[in-house]
Amino acid sequence: MPNGPSSSNGPGKLYNRIAVLRAERSLSRQDLADALDVNYQTIGFLERGDYNPSLALAFQIAAYFNLPIEAVFSPEPFRPLSEQVYGNGRNRADK
Amino acid sequence: MAATEQTNEGVIVLSDNPKLTRRKRRRMILACYSAAFLLATVAVYLLHFRHVSVFRLGGYFPLLLSFIIVLGGLRLGGPVRPFSRRIGAAAANQPLIQLRLGSRKHPPDETFLDERDIAIGDHVHCLAMSILRCATFLFVLALWASAVFHHPAWLPVVAGIGSFLLFVAAMSLPQGIILRAEPDPVPEPSAQIAGVPQ
């Protein structure tokens, strides 16, 4: 089965924060799917990294969460949001 | 779970039986095509070796049966339903393929397909095309070789029935590939994520 515009098994794997953003906003997959006009299962495939969205859908998702696209999708694994916002404990202790 | 419910079980809604897992789907696809092949063999036997019934109609009965088994007959509602790409916004979240084993419900023709569904559809059509191209080439090669070197009496019967099988495969193979390969729907792990409504 295809994994989208680029394969998620090869170097084209795209990481995303959809699950975290959805949880933060108390949205179910169905809510998000309705808002984006996609199937419910597609959200699951996106969250698990089994499917890479098209550029149009990626921008649509970023716009829905009111975030820049690089905050939602990245070719590199994301650092935890808490670490990114507050820095890790060692950095804070140093300050 | 009714097949036409908009409960978003995924791209594929597996008839009224939620226990129809991928393993069972694979067995079902194998059984369908095996039955079609077996019935076609029976048809060859009846048509060529037995010369059954008036106008040979009895010989075509197994073919009709295989057509119904795989494609559901003229209403096209069998286990492997032909692919539809008609898109209608009104029928949002309708599944791509519906199995209607034991059910005579016919969902709306208009089907909402999102980009992943369309990508899967394109991929399986491409794959099915490759398989059919090879199968047709080998079939025609075998017929040609038989005709040139042996010229057997059964050649017209086998050619006709083989063409019928290729037609059935052309109509149903993309869906068969999806049913075989599509993973089971994964339930939303909402209980594990705080803040998501249960």
Chain segment B159-187, per-residue pLDDT in tens: 888 888 888 888 788 878 887 887 776 76
Q: What is the pLDDT of residues B28-67, one digit of tens each?
A: 788 888 888 888 888 888 777 766 655 566 667 777 777 7
pLDDT of residue A38: 87
Are A33 and B197 a contacting pair at CB < 8 A? no
Of the candidates A1, A23, A33, the beta carbon closest to that of B182 is on A1
Percent of chain B predicted with pLDDT > 70? 56
Q: Name residues 55-94 of chain A within 8 A of B (Cβ).
A: 56-57
Exposure on the CB side of residue B103, measured as CA atoms within 13 A = 17
Q: Which fold has domain A15-94?
A: 434 Repressor (Amino-terminal Domain) (1.10.260)
CA distance B142 to B148: 10
Residue B104: per-residue pLDDT: 45
Instruction: Check residue B160 and give its pLDDT.
Output: 84
* Pairwise CB contact (< 8 Å): B11 & A39: yes
Find chain A residues with C-beta within 8 A of B6's C-beta: none
Cβ distance of B114 and A24 shorter than 8 Å: no
What does the mean pLDDT of chain A come to?
82
The DSSP letter of residue B49 is I
Are B116 and A40 an interchain contact pair (Cβ–Cβ within 8 Å)?
Answer: no
Kindly determine whether residue A30 and residue B8, on different chains, have CB atoms separated by under 8 Å: yes
CB of A17 within 8 Å of a chain B CB? The answer is: no
Query: Which residues, at least 6 apart from A75, have a Cβ–Cβ distance to it below 8 Å?
Result: A13, A14, A15
pLDDT at B11: 35
Q: Report the C-alpha gap between B61 and B57 in whole angstroms.
A: 7
| pLDDT higher at B24 or A26 | A26
Of B10, B114, B195, the CB nearest to A24: B195
Q: Hey, which bits of A1-95 come out as E strands? A: 15-16, 73-74
Q: Does A42 touch chain B (CB under 8 A)?
A: yes
Residue of B nearest to A40 (CA): B8
User: Do B112 and B93 form a contact (C-beta atoms < 8 A)?
Assistant: yes
Identify which of B9, B119, B195 has the shortest CB distance to residue A2: B119
Instruction: Work out the number of other CB atoms within 10 angstroms of the CB of residue B101.
Output: 15
What is the distance between the alpha carbons of residues A69 and A79, in angstroms, rounded to a whole number? 16
pTM: 0.67
Q: Which helix (H) or strand (E) holds B97?
A: strand B97-99
